[in-house]
Amino acid sequence: MPTQAIQPLIVQSDLTVLLDERMSGADAAREKLLLFAETVKRAGTVHTYKITPLALWHAAAAGLREADIIGWLSRFGRYELPVQAAAAIRIHMERFGQLTLAMHGGLLLLRGKADVMRQLEPFASLAPYVLERVDAESWHVLSESRGLLKQELIRLGYPVVDRAGYHPGEKLEVKLREYTLAGKPFSLRYYQREAAARFYEDDAASGSGVVVLPCGAGKTVVGIAALARVSSATLILTSSRTSVQQWKAELLDKTTLEERQIGEYVGSSKQVRPVTIATYNMLTHRKAQHAEYTHIRLFGERDWGLIIYDEVHLLPAPVFRMTAELQATRRLGLTAALVREDGCAEDVFALIGPKQYEMHWKTAESERYIAEVTCTEIRVPMQEKTAERYLEAGARMRLRIAAENPEKMKVARSLLERHKGKPALVIGQYLDQLHEIADYINAPLLTGEVSQAKRKALYSKFKAGEIPVLVVSKVANFAVDLPDAAVAIQLSGSYGSRQEEAQRIGRLLRPKQEDNSACFYTLVSDNTKETEFALRRQTFMLEQGYAYERRHATVLDGADGEEARP
């Protein structure tokens, strides 16, 4: 009689799930887990996940049922699914859809079954938003507090399905081109078309949510397609001035919009036009800590029918507050990785909307929409003096010393020699380190200190092949069009930021014409706290199916000319 296969999942009563990747079926189990659970950590061959209410609500919004999830956990579970876990999943899944917001007779009503509404009655925090209890299943609520009410309800564990509709905004005729300005045929890829359709289904109640696509897969095009479907005045918020220029170029290239219809709201050029592109920094600027936000009026400058939040995972707290007041305007969030390190993921769900569409990175890679990337973590030893400084330092300074380990420069130079002829980026967190490596390898440096004009010139020369290596700070984390970068070497980063790791790898993902492959190296000081942060940084990419090969560098003492051999 054949021995029964040992299943890969161990589900605990508190909704913690352990995945044993040694077992057959582990890959299939992981694929399902990613639909309704969040990664906590990966250690050895046993990885830890958590089934959170938010993850379950995203799953419910995508059409999954509690029976699907419980069925998968039972199928892949090593032991019988704990009764408490199954009950908790049912409770959280059932709560999605129990409450709705809808307009009726000109009134904004919060509706739910009588027993659900009774559960809400004791919460004093809801009182400021409720004008009248119409009946056992309906409350008349303040229309101007639509966003704040949704925020508070999700905080209490009751997500709201918003069916109150949206006003159309100022009409704007926009169509997608069949040919770009360069005369190349243009059409939406299948997933871009599906994402735009999922966001806006041409009815009064649709038009809010988040689209998740890998870097380089064309999130901007999805935003443009949504704009064309809605065909109304649109405010686009993005992460940097460089990104503002890229959005404008893409709009002119792929839509019938004319330059006079597109405004850039940056620096000294504050143009408010039917399509206006601004940065988060501009909107959160104020002259003093407790002063009004200088440019908050932009939200009311026109009758916007759509607001696009590019890199929605970066949305700063003040913009959340502004967004809470704009719930009658359609809202689209775009991101490559819907993970936040600040605990505000529920605010994205409540105020922008649930995940409407997601494409996994490896899916895009297998279909050749993005480049194939190999990831390598190189452990770099520290010289004796540096190690002594590290041991004598406090916790925060230890991280800085490990990140700026001088031996990393030798390893970086060795890697650049190995990949000579391929366009490469050297990426880091600390300016002193970046200035030093730029001098060491004789490469130009791009940081926040560099003017916009010089940045543009450096990008152009890099893309033209005139600059083989570019040293960049975190200003290049987002929305920088470097389609020919084939190698990236990460010297240091923002501690354990999963989002930053994904975005830096994203600099390599735009498809290449010939060899559609790229290499990402992350240099980590061995036997230091940096190794723990590196593991956390890699979590998102690991769950997307990217394996990090770990290697150890041999660093030689002595003359400056001696190099590391990774």
Same domain, 333 and 372: no
Residues in the chain: 566
- Do 243 and 298 lie in one domain? The reply is yes
Rounded mean pLDDT of 400-422? Answer: 95
Report yes or no on 154 lying in a domain: yes
Last residue of a domain, one of 323, 338, 359: 359
Q: Starting from the edge strand earliest in sequence, which strands make up the sheet with 99-104, in order?
A: 130-135, 138-141, 107-111, 99-104, 160-162
Q: With bands split at pLDDT 50, 70 and 90, how would you rate the model's confidence at 515?
A: confident
pLDDT digits (tens, 9 = 90+) for 343-400: 778 888 988 999 999 998 989 999 999 999 999 999 999 999 999 999 999 988 999 9
- List Cα–Cα distances, 348 to 105, 202, 443, in angstroms: 29, 23, 40
* Residue, of 332 and 452, whose pLDDT is higher: 332
DSSP string, 174-219: --B-SB-TTS-B----HHHHHHHHHH--SSTT--EEEEE--TTS-H
Q: Are 310 and 227 in contact (CB under 8 A)?
A: no
Domain assignment present for residue 176? The answer is no
Among 142, 162, 182, identify where a domain stops: 162
In a domain, 181, yes or no: no
Considering the domain boundaries, does residue 185 fall inside one? no
> What's the pLDDT band for 1 if we cut at 50, 70, 90?
very low
Among the candidates 108, 143, 162, a domain finishes at 162
Q: In whole angstroms, how far apart are CA 321 and each of 148, 248, 300, 380?
A: 9, 26, 14, 44
Q: Give the pLDDT confidence score for residue 5 in this predicted structure.
A: 74
Residue 381 belongs to a domain: yes
Which pLDDT band holds residue 204 (cuts at 50, 70, 90)? low
The string of pLDDT tens digits covering residues 42-61 is: 777 888 999 999 999 999 99
Does residue 61 share a domain with residue 151?
Answer: no
Q: What is the mean pLDDT of the chain?
A: 89
For residue 13, give Cα distances in angstroms to 6, 79, 208, 416. 20, 12, 34, 49
In 3D space, the residue among 275, 337, 260 whose CA is nearest the CA of residue 308 turns out to be: 275
How far apart (Å, rounded) are the C-alpha atoms in residues 196 and 226? 5
User: At 282, which CATH number?
Assistant: 3.40.50.300
pLDDT band at 558, cuts 50/70/90?
A: very low
Helix residue ranges per DSSP H, 17-157: 26-33, 53-61, 66-76, 83-95, 114-120, 146-155
Asked if residues 114 and 135 have their Cβ atoms less than 8 Å apart, the reply is: no
Q: What integer pLDDT is reported at residue 284 of this predicted model?
A: 80
The answer to whether 423 touches 462, Cβ cutoff 8 Å, is: yes
Provide the pLDDT confidence category of residue 249 given band limits of 50, 70 and 90: very high
Write the CB contacts of 285 (distance below 8 Å, at least 6 apart in sequence).
Answer: 293, 294, 295
**Is residue 184 in some structural domain?**
no
Q: Report which of residues 484 and 375 the model is more confident about.
A: 375
Does 467 lie in the same domain as 349? Answer: no
Q: Are residues 73 and 105 in the same domain?
A: no
Q: Which domain holds residue 400?
A: 368-552
Q: Do 340 and 388 share a domain, yes or no?
A: no
Closest C-alpha to 280, from 478, 495, 450: 478
Q: Let me know whether 198 and 326 are in one domain.
A: yes
Instruction: Using DSSP, state whether 503 is helix, strand or coil.
Output: helix
Q: Are residues 301 and 206 in the same domain?
A: yes
Regarding whether 203 and 111 lie in a shared domain, the answer is: no
pTM for the model: 0.89
Whether residues 244 and 306 share a domain: the answer is yes
Q: Are residues 398 and 440 in the same domain?
A: yes
Tell me the per-residue pLDDT of 292-348, one tens digit each, with 9 for 90 and over: 777 778 888 899 999 999 988 878 777 877 888 888 899 999 998 887 776 778 888
Cα 251 to Cα 221: distance, rounded to the nearest angstrom: 9
**Is 76 found in the same domain as 151?**
no
| 374 in a structural domain | yes
Both tokens of 414, joined, read 């060795």
Residue 528, in any domain of the structure: yes
Indicate the number of domains in the chain. Answer: 4
